[in-house]
Structure 1
Amino acid sequence: MGCARLSVPFLWFQEPSLYTVKAIFILDNDGQRLLAKYYDDTFPSMKEQKAFEKNVFNKTHKTDSEIAFLEGLTIVYKSSIDLFFYVVGSSHENELMLMAVLTCLFDSLNHMLRKNVEKRSLLDNMDGAFLVVDEIVDGGVILESDPQQVIQKVNFRTISEPAAYGFVLFDYIAGRSEQSESVPPRC
């Protein structure tokens, strides 16, 4: 009686990595780059990056999907009015992780732009948009996926929120205090 040999195919498992995100970019409704951050050398030159972005835009701008597999990469995306938001990861990357980054990016910008997520508003607040992206991902590593935490870190407030110390500082500069208001002025 001989030993039965099991034939198990060899599966190649990728080492887990913190470097989840390969790129984040935002395009307008013509496919032109408004914001882009690449985190590895998959597309080392600006020419290669723009060609990739154009290819991604051409494949995704007329679809209702949220995910695409293109050029060996996993791409999650979302559109809003005249903007397209993209988060790119490797082919073996977890789509839910990439979607969490995309949702955080969109919700953070939505808050920062006061629910006016469109090209003109984004261009007027581009410095803030780069800060938001940098708070979410650093070097391809996801740092934050909670939009409230991102907004707190970049210190954006909506118009309806009062400036906490603005009046106190004004009163101090003007020489007023709570005590001087309770004492009637002398003539």
Structure 2
Amino acid sequence: MNLSLYSVNAFLILDTEGARVLAKYYRPKGHPQGESKQFQTLKEQKAFEKGLWQKTKKAGGDIILYDGHLAVYKHSLDLIIYFIAGPSENELMLSTALNNFVDALTLLMRNQIEKRGVLENLDLVLLCLDETIDDGIIVDTDPAAISSRVSRPRPDTTEIIINEQTIMSAYQTVKEKMAQRIGQL
């Protein structure tokens, strides 16, 4: 049995009809378990996803062994979120990582983990995923830390709030300056 840090082979989000919303497959180069011939083509990926969805669309559990892969999944309103790993990986670690990833998404998306919200905030979802998994390796399982790194504003940006009062103030300043200049002529 080869032990490794490569814990996740794929990340999937499927909708209630089994259609792909988001998928990211990890295949580390040079890793013996990562050199699998499966998932190399889009056709193979879609066939795997369809079969996996058929097995998990109504299942009550959150862990399944399907087609030689361990699938840990969580149902949301109209989505199913999956972490796919090799059969010898630690189910508890995968389940913890998935639950905390979903918790971080819940914080970032203000409790709206649904298909439309995921598609509209795809950047947040992918950043959150990248903070949780790096090239198939689970790197963080703290939802508060993950969400804070994703939502942190860049230090070189400043927020400028423009509202009606700001515009009126600018107009008033320009009006006063013009009156001064006209008075000087």
Q: TM-score, normalised by structure 2?
A: 0.76
**Following superposition of structure 1 onto structure 2, how do residues 139-150 of structure 1 map, counting pairs within 5 Å?**
139-150=135-146
Per-residue deviation, 1:110 = 0.8
Amino acid at match of 1:38: Y
1:92 equivalent to 2:88? Answer yes
Give the structure 2 partner of residue 60 of structure 1: 56
Q: 2:133 aligns with which of 133, 137, 162?
A: 137
Task: Tell me the residue number matched to 2:182.
Answer: none
Q: Who is 1:185 aligned against? A: none
Equivalent residue, structure 2, for 1:43: 39
Query: Are the equivalent residues in 2 in contact too, given 1:112–1:156 (CA < 8 A)?
Result: no
Instruction: For 1:15 and 1:124, locate their aligned partners in 2 and report how far apart those are by CA, in whole Å.
Output: 40
Match of 1:76 among 59, 62, 72: 72
Distance 2:16 2:8 in 1: 23
In structure 1, what is the Cα distance between the partners aligned to 2:100 and 2:132? 8
Alignment partner of 2:2: what SS?
coil
Establish whether residue 111 from structure 1 lines up as the match of residue 98 from structure 2.
no
**Structure 1 residue 156, shift from structure 2 partner:** 5.5
**Aligned partners of 1:123, 1:26: CA distance in 2, in Å?**
11
- Matching residue of 1:184: none
> 1:27 aligns to what?
14
1:181 is matched with none
Count of aligned residue pairs for this structure pair: 151
Name the CA distance, whole Å, in 1 between partners of 2:20 and 2:41: 15
Percent of residue pairs bearing the same amino acid type: 41
Give how far 1:15 is off: 2.2
Aligned counterpart for 1:102 among listed residues 94, 98, 122: 98
DSSP-derived class of the 2:72 partner = strand
Q: Structure 2: how far apart are the matches of 1:118 and 1:156?
A: 23
Residues 54/156 of structure 1: CA separation in 2 closer, same or farther (3 Å cut): farther
Could you say if the C-alpha distance between residues 122 and 156 of structure 1 is closer, same or farther in structure 2, counting changes exceeding 3 Å? farther
Residue type matched to 1:153 in 2? Answer: R
Partner of 1:179: none
SS in 2 for 1:21: coil
* CA–CA distance in structure 1, aligned partners of residues 22 and 152 of structure 2: 19
Structure 1 contact 25–87 (Cα < 8 Å) conserved? yes
Q: Does structure 2 conserve the Cα–Cα contact (< 8 Å) formed by 1:67 and 1:76? A: yes
Cα-Cα RMSD: 2.2
Amino acid at match of 2:22: L
